[in-house]
Homo-oligomer: A and B are copies of this chain.
Amino acid sequence: MLTTFEVLSLPARREILERLRSGPSSVSELSDALGLSQPITSKHLRVLKDAGFVSVRPDAQRRWYELRPEPFVEVAQWLEPYRWMWEDRLDRLGRYLDDEEASR
């Protein structure tokens, strides 16, 4: 199973995620919209599902894929300790320290 950042390293998969921001979508809708073959699309969705980026809801032959927040939260948490580099406002530093303290 691929890790969160490995999943995100492929542009096609980021495009799938971007498209899912506007709501759930079926495989054929995604493959049409992004110009990918159906098998390729299914395989990317499988990877995205295994990593927690999407969930699936069957509906007859269709599968509706939908965004899930967990891996995005993981990225946000990874990113947080680096924010001081470009957001050097003291109140944000304060907020970061508050969060650190609150997490213990």
Chain A interface (Cβ < 8 Å from any Cβ of B): 3, 5-6, 8-9, 14, 17-18, 21, 67-69, 72-73, 75-76, 78-79, 81-83, 85-86, 89, 91, 95, 98-99, 102
Contacts and interface: CB of A to CB of B under 8 A. Distances in A.
B67 A72 contact: no
State the main secondary structure of chain A at its contact with B.
helix
Contact of A76 (B72, B83, B95, B98): B83
B86 A91 contact: no
Nearest to A78: B14
Contacts of A69: 82, 85-86
Given A6-B9, A9-B6, A21-B81, A73 B86 contact: yes
Given A67-B85, A89-B102, 16 more contacts: A5-B14, A8-B9, A14-B78, A17-B82, A21-B81, A21-B82, A67-B82, A69-B85, A69-B86, A72-B79, A72-B85, A75-B79, A76-B79, A76-B83, A91-B98, A91-B102
